[in-house]
Amino acid sequence: MSLKFGHVSTVVASSPETVKDVLKTFDADCCSRPYLTYAARLSYNLNDLGFSPYSQYWKEVRKMTVVELYTTKRVKSFAHIREEEVASFVDYIKQSALLADPVNLNSKLMKLSGSVICRVGFGMNLKGSKLENTYEEVIQGTMEVLGSFAAADYFPVIGRLIDRITGLHSKCEKVFKEMNAFFDQSIKHHLEDESLKDDIIALLLKMERGETSLGEFQLTRNHTKGILLNVLIAGIDTSGHTITWVMTHLITNPRILKRVQAEVREVIKNKDNITEEDINQLEYLKMVIKETLRINPLLPLLVPREASKDLKIDGHDILKKTWIHINIWALHRNPNVWKDPEAFIPERFMDNEIDYKGLNFELLPFGSGRRMCPGIGMGMALVHLTLINLLYRFDWKLPEGMKAKDVDLEESYGLEDEMNLLYVIVAFVLFASILIARKAKKKTLNLPPGPPKLPIIGNLHQLGSQPHRSINKLSEKYGPLMSLKFGKVSTVVASTPEAVKDVLKTFDVECCSRPYLTYPARITYGLNDVAFSPYSKYWKEVRKMAVVELFTGKRVESFRHIREDEVASFVDFLKQSASTENPVNFNQKLMKLSGSVICRVGFGINLKGSKLENTYEEVIHGTMEVLGSFAAIDYFPVIGRLIDRITGLHRKCEKAFKAMDEFFDQCIKYHLENGSIKDDIIALLLKMEREETAIGEFQSTRKHTKGILLLPEGMKAKDVDLEESYGLVCPKKVPLELIPVITQWT
């Protein structure tokens, strides 16, 4: 389906066939990224992996991520961190159970994720970090900025003005400032403590010093921070929200909860030490997780891709620079693929081999092709360990008076405020456009079908507050490959396995770049990360570094003890909550579990004591909100920035960036002061900085390092909220509170 958002031509793929074309058949031609104003800001000018365009740099960073950061060995090496943080989380749940206090799972799970991420990625505890008191605000702010509608990206002339009016610009700057302070703190911590060698910052710092190469590029501090942004955001926000959605569906489906608990308790029995490997024997639990990822993909709309050349997909012409959206939400609800797609039925995976690892274009919660999330193993390890502990050690019930039907299942997208204000501003622009006669001769092309477009704004008025749902309805009418226009941005949306396969596989090279996204660029230190960096030689080098250095199987395995430690701690918390019958806020606790693991694995520090200790949930939420917000500057070059300032997105981005940057600085400082830290990601990046190791032909700087561093009583099942909260990811809109119950297995 073709859409027009401002000056952006957009195509939406929403069927397996069209999605396959984008992600496989034409993956190389569709894997770049458009320039997103605020994504560029947050990623240190696209020095990350997520928003960086398809280039040699992106290839190197991707390789580094896969080979070094997220290998099976490295994931396992952080197992003890995850186990410790989960054990702490379980202890908290125990206390709540004893007191019969409701537990806010959203908040607690976010804190759990933050604690893990801080230790794994930054080598420090969240407690004591720059994000200790603001991490939730910073993370949420970052995600809001990255997921916001940036007028500057769609309206070249007035977009930046709009973003300033809406407040998006100031939000981005605020998030960036906080994130950068955290990164600086983390890096300083590593530089001062040479004993920190096993986390992600240590690895990135090692690459900065030149001890490890990144192809022909020299890793800089901005590259490190850009990559750290991906590590922090993806690790904290996604793991916690996935666990929260699983528990939400289980509490609203007693039959499924009973069956999965019976399986877990039969397999685990009286084991004192629950490990991540236990998931291999829990087939039904794996089905429950798959079904949750199908119903509630954290990225209902994948980060937009950009066609690097003229293409023909599904018989339609896709012009160079067209934005391509993959509607995962619609793909996962395709009635031609899934029977009764709106129902939560884990058994649907019993007789098929469909998995979420990017090979089946019917189920792509983490994407596919060159742009597929490289940290699946790290994130899912925490998900598995935490869920096994929660289901084995505790029974669960809703607060008094609540029923399953009362549970809110709504998603929180994060576009409501920006879109409402945007309509008011654009009304004036539309009035002015009526006075302007424009004639242009256009080449006749066979573009994908799409709805009619309004002047200037294109199809923005048809998005609504939950674009994945709105676009799904449009794709049902206009087809699996749909053209849209968002401001100045031409976009194509792929919504079926076939279309997604074309984008992510067939034309992967042509489609794997990233558009320039303003606030992701800010948060990733100028796109110095892997996720938002465009497909380029730099991205190739960073990707290579991530694959070879940061996320190898060996490195993942080496952190196994960390994961087990954190999950064990999480389980202890659940035991305490169960003994007092206190409801547990799963969102918050799982976020903390994820953060604890990531901090130890990636940053070589405990979440407790880090800059994010008291604020990591806020920081992560802020960052994810920024990354997932509609940034007017990305669609309206002229007034977009003004709109984002009016909506507050710019301010939110700056706040999230500041908090995150301070945390990174804390981690880096810790590594610099402790020379014994050599095996984590920050240490590797700092090593590249100090020894001027090249990322291909690029010099590693501090920005590269940071860019790379960048997942009550009386209640009943029917009362549980199943509404999604849409931002960059799609978490629950209302925190999930459950009461753990002490059992013979606790």
- Distance from C-alpha of 233 to C-alpha of 623, rounded to nearest angstrom: 7
In angstroms, the Cα distances linking 738 to 82, 297, 404, 587 are 22, 22, 12, 10
How is residue 663 written in tokens? 């945390």
- Distance from C-alpha of 92 to C-alpha of 434, rounded to nearest angstrom: 61
- Residue 88's CB: how many other CB atoms inside 10 A? 28
In angstroms, the Cα distances linking 268 to 261, 288, 578 are 10, 18, 19
Rg (CA), the chain: 23
653 marked as binding residue: no
How is residue 651 written in tokens? 């301010």
How is residue 550 written in tokens? 């940061």
- Distance from C-alpha of 634 to C-alpha of 636, rounded to nearest angstrom: 6
- Distance from C-alpha of 70 to C-alpha of 357, rounded to nearest angstrom: 14
CA torsion sign for 172, 324, 63, 566 is: positive
Angle at 567 between CA 561 and CA 572, to 5 degrees: 125
- Distance from C-alpha of 42 to C-alpha of 526, rounded to nearest angstrom: 7
Place of tokens 């742009």: 371
Amino acid at 292: T
> HSE-up of 439 (CA within 13 Å, CB side)?
0
Note whether 732 and 587 are within 8 A (CB): yes
How is residue 426 written in tokens? 């654009």
- Distance from C-alpha of 84 to C-alpha of 312, rounded to nearest angstrom: 51
Burial class, 157, CB count within 10 angstroms (exposed 0-12 / middle 13-18 / buried 19+): middle
| Tally of helices (H runs) and strands (E runs) in the chain | 29, 39
Please state the residue numbers annotated as binding site.
Answer: 373
Binding site for heme: what residues are annotated?
Answer: 373
